[in-house]
Amino acid sequence: MGLELEIEGLNLPTQGSLEKIRGKTSGSRWEAKTDGSLRGEALEYVLNQPCNIDEVQPLVSGLYDKFTTSDTRLQLTNRCSTHVHVNMTGKKVNEITSAIALWTAFEEPLTLWAGEERVNNHFCLTAKDSNFGTVGAWRSFLRTGTVRFGDNLKYTSLNILPLNRFGSIEYRVMNASEDPERIVDWTKFIFTLTRYRDWE
């Protein structure tokens, strides 16, 4: 799993204060980066490498504990969001296809659940709002075997562009939250959604 938390607020902890928050097995840790889509005092907290699903809870809780000790005041706007990457390396084409189809089928109610500010948000466009760009690009790949994912797919709620570079797909619809458990629950849900074959 990979996580990117885009945050606006006051007294945001910077890189040096995050070093002790690490995944036990993976060694994954938070990096604090600037992000051009955010305004004011703002940082994007990104895991420097993938973590295991069982490390999500302590990593996210550790970051939010640091918010508390730093007297951070979150000011979460419609620009702030939570992006979840799921590693698809080694997955078969039909497994990735199924993950895309499942997301597309449930995308609209999940977007509503994520929050009103995520509906029609140009940083996480639904399939319908993006003229089914992700679905069309994947269908073209299935027909031709040629990967042609245009940069216009970056701001879709399910971003498949990272498949080329990182071997992951990115779910962008979740808003930012003051509640770390909401982020953890969402991440676990997304992980389970992509592992649909294990449901049986």
pLDDT of residue 122: 86
Instruction: State the number of CA atoms in the 13 A half-sphere of 160 facing the CB.
Output: 22
pLDDT of residue 159: 93
Percent of the chain with pLDDT over 70: 98
If one compares 25 and 130, the residue with the highest pLDDT of the two is: 25
DSSP element (H, E) containing 139: helix 133-144
Residue 88 sits at φ, ψ, to 5 deg, of -110, 10
DSSP for 85-132, written as a single string: EEE-TT--HHHHHHHHHHHHHHHHHHHHHH-GGGTT-TTSB-TTTTTT
pTM of the model: 0.92
pLDDT of residue 95: 92
d(CA 156, CA 173): 8
pLDDT digits (tens, 9 = 90+) for 68-113: 999 999 999 999 999 999 999 999 999 999 999 999 999 999 999 9
Contacts of 179 (CB under 8 A, 6+ apart): none
pLDDT digits (tens, 9 = 90+) for 19-70: 999 999 999 999 999 988 899 999 999 999 999 999 999 999 999 999 999 9
Nearest of 4, 95, 69, 68 to residue 42 by alpha carbon: 4
pLDDT of residue 197: 60
Evaluate whether 168 touches 85 at the Cβ level (below 8 Å): yes
What average pLDDT does the segment 151-178 reach? 91
CB count within 10 Å of CB 64 equals 19
Residue 186: alpha-carbon gap to chain centroid: 10
pLDDT of residue 133: 85
pLDDT of residue 130: 85
